[in-house]
Amino acid sequence: FLNRAAMKTVGDTDQEGKLTESWSLCTVEQVEDLKTLLRIFPLWSTSIFLSTPIGIQSSLMVLQALSMDRHLGPHVNIPAGSFIVATLIATAVSLPVIDRIFFPVWKTVTRQSMTPLQRIGVGHVLNIVGMAGSALVESRRFEVAKSHNLTHQLGSIVPMSAFWLVTPLVIVGIGEAFHFPGQVALYYQEFPTSLRSTATAMIALLIAAGFYLSTAMIDLIQRVTGWLPDNINEGRIDNVFWVLVVIGVINFCYYITCAILYRYKNVENAEEKSERASDG
């Protein structure tokens, strides 16, 4: 169907063979570029929900930390908003470890370089595990608050260390070290030469879409359920995280389907670039 855009019809050219309306006729290259974008769009759309849970986790983590013991020693009190740094640190530390240790080990064991689609898949799994970890931590925090009769006391501090929040954040950070570079490699590898500069912008676009969606989801949950009241000790933030886990699993199944059906534009080129990424 799209090939028709590059087909000349009666009236497209004048007697000298020049196009009468250049905007109505595309080149073959333009048609093929559009086909490439349409082929990769389903894979790109699966990554939107990788950013959505991260946005929700970042917001709810601050509320959780405010109601927990944030002391590091007898005199140091960690700001609630600082715990999100654990994700950034985990990503920064994981990148060289993955590049210098994990990829060579993977190649030695499997005798193949890890493809961008496999990296993104690992990121999906770690993202789901991180959300499940946040749900378990919140369930524990809720039980501690309930056992100390703090459920209905607004602003009360639950006697549970806020550093329990760090583990899920670290898992999500490691996942980011897998799926974000994997997406950059995939888009840059598969995009047409004329759109290579747009490839890296796709990451920023899906992050923006994911965070906008996270805001919409929180608003929807507040309207439909009672899980996010002003006093989180009366709410069920753990249910919010479990919803993210369920949606994440569904999204991962969608990703697996898209990845199985997807065919690299140039298989040899894909393998060569994956090998360079693993060795470099």
Rounded to 5°, angle at Cα 195 from 194 and 199:
150
- At which residue do the structure tokens 């240790």 appear? 101
What is the three-class DSSP state of 57?
helix
Phi, psi values for residue 13, rounded to 5°: -125, 155
Residues 92-117 have pLDDT tens digits of 999 999 999 999 999 999 999 999 99
Span 223-243, average pLDDT: 93
Six token digits for residue 6: 């590059």
Confidence tier at 192 by pLDDT (50, 70, 90): confident
> Which pLDDT value is given to residue 201?
84
Domains in the chain: ranges and CATH:
32-279 (1.20.1250.20)
Greatest Cα pair distance, the chain, in angstroms, is: 89
Is residue 9 predicted with pLDDT exceeding 80? no
Span 8-20, average pLDDT: 52
| Alpha helical stretches, state H, the chain | 28-46, 48-66, 85-97, 103-110, 116-147, 166-190, 196-199, 201-224, 237-261, 267-279
Is residue 270 predicted with pLDDT exceeding 60? no
Q: Is the whole-model pTM more than 0.75?
A: yes
Is residue 145 predicted with pLDDT exceeding 60? yes
Confidence tier at 25 by pLDDT (50, 70, 90): low
Task: Rank 112-121, 184-193, 268-277 by mean pLDDT and report only the highest.
Answer: 112-121
Is residue 245 predicted with pLDDT exceeding 70? yes
> Which pLDDT value is given to residue 197?
77
Pick the more confident residue, 149 or 198.
149
> Which pLDDT value is given to residue 32?
64
> Which pLDDT value is given to residue 29?
62
> Which pLDDT value is given to residue 140?
96
Question: Over pLDDT 90: what percentage of the chain?
Answer: 62
Residues 155-185 have pLDDT tens digits of 889 999 999 999 999 999 999 999 999 998 8
Pick the more confident residue, 3 or 51.
51
Confidence tier at 268 by pLDDT (50, 70, 90): very low
Query: Which class for 131: exposed (0-12), middle (13-18), buried (19 or more C-beta within 10 A)?
Result: buried
> Which pLDDT value is given to residue 23?
45
> Which pLDDT value is given to residue 250?
97
Is residue 220 predicted with pLDDT exceeding 70? yes
Is residue 142 predicted with pLDDT exceeding 80? yes
